[in-house]
Amino acid sequence: MKGTQNAYIRMDDLSVGYNGKALIRDICIDIRKGEIVTLIGPNGAGKSTILKSITRQLALIKGRVLFEDKNLHSMSARDLSQKMAVVLTERLKTDLLTCYDIVASGRYPYTGKLGLLTEEDERMVDEAMAVVHATELGPRDFNAISDGQRQRVLLARAICQDPEIIILDEPTSFLDIRYKLELLSILRNMAKKKGITVIMSLHEIDLAEKISDKIICVKGDRIYRYGVPEDIFEEEAIRELYSIDNGFFDPLFGSIELPAPTGKGWTNDPEKAETEAASEEAEDADAEEIQPVFVISSGGTGIPVYRKLQKRNIPFIAGILYPNDIDYQLARLLATEVITTPAFEEIEGPAFARAEEMVRTCSRVIFAEFPIGTMNRRIRELVELAEKEGKLEIVRGL
């Protein structure tokens, strides 16, 4: 993506690396003012290397970083510090500095030679600490607080620096879920209300999908993909980016899913199943775990059932589902088989016949209760058949 109009930051044919050796080459990316751009990719791919290069902590191997068409690497340190705030993962070397001192250092680009804070500077320090809920940390030794608290203090320092660009390397590391959400909300407000451009790396791809305007995928010696989240967070794209072979990425839920349950070698081959059943007759305690379960659900009622069966490694068949049903989105990843019928139509004969077969052959039938109306009325027949077969279990409460 090169030469975009209204580019605020431009990485122009950038090559980055260490000791004169390029790790990632030919980076051509334009970023607009007020955008949140997130780097994702496997560990060691070079996300931190890119961030360190555009913040001048590493020398560029090739190319330029332009900020409003000015070469970032030709700006004075003072001018750059008034434009850009940086929060990286390296530990600060501090001796006898309080958290307040650390945050206050964000105002130094604006103070005189003596580094004295004005009343306005002190007000901005106090406000920044309040925003990240770190006011009570002010008098404490920076080296004596937790990693999560340090992260909040460093973000406060960046905020009171009043930058136009903020660069963060894994800012949600060491934070519990409450502070992850608060930090990202702060960054979103900074970007959308103040027009601050945010460039960061994240491990949590579900959060990256939700907060980012653009995503940079880093893998190999080139940028793997770059674009809006809707184009990046596809099942196959994330599988290839992270080389996932032991689970799935679900783009609908933005979640990583464990592999489908296997049931200790359960097979859908009737003849093989009969042979295995004879050899396992003495293992009655494990028999239920080996046998498949038929789950009848709709509208999200099946999701907790699927996950429970997955945790117990019990294979299951799901149905009868419409392809636009939210249960279908997860069932297609976790179920041994999904019985479907066309959306907005009455249940078809072949789908119903297959579901009847599953009621008769599966070890048990779980009905994750949901409303039955005109279009799906034949579900009631399946439930009645399961009850007649003595296999029905009803799950209520959703």
CATH 3.40.50.300 spans which residues of the chain? 7-256
Q: Which fold has domain 270-395?
A: Rossmann fold (3.40.50)
Please report the pLDDT score of residue 91 as a whole number.
64
Please report the pLDDT score of residue 277 as a whole number.
43
Q: Give the pLDDT confidence of 207-263 residue by residue, as tens digits.
A: 999 999 999 999 999 999 999 999 999 989 999 999 998 888 888 878 888 888 887
Cβ within 8 Å of residue 331, ≥6 positions away? 295, 302, 306, 318, 321, 338
Rounded to 5 degrees, φ, ψ at 140 are: -80, 150
Q: Give the pLDDT confidence of 16-42 residue by residue, as tens digits.
A: 999 999 999 999 999 999 999 999 999
Options 3.40.50.300, 3.20.20.10, 3.40.30.10, 3.20.20.70; CATH for 7-256 is 3.40.50.300
The ranges of the chain with pLDDT < 70 are 1-5, 89-93, 264-290, 397-398
CATH 3.40.50.720 spans which residues of the chain? 270-395
Please report the pLDDT score of residue 93 as a whole number.
67
Please report the pLDDT score of residue 5 as a whole number.
56
Please report the pLDDT score of residue 192 as a whole number.
92
Q: Give the pLDDT confidence of 94-116 residue by residue, as tens digits.
A: 778 999 999 999 998 888 777 78
**Separation between Cα atoms, residue 29 and residue 388, nearest integer Å:** 64
Please report the pLDDT score of residue 371 as a whole number.
93
Distances (CA, A) of 80 to 36, 149, 161, 269: 20, 27, 11, 67
Please report the pLDDT score of residue 82 as a whole number.
87
CA neighbor of 201 nearest in space, from 51, 11, 34: 51
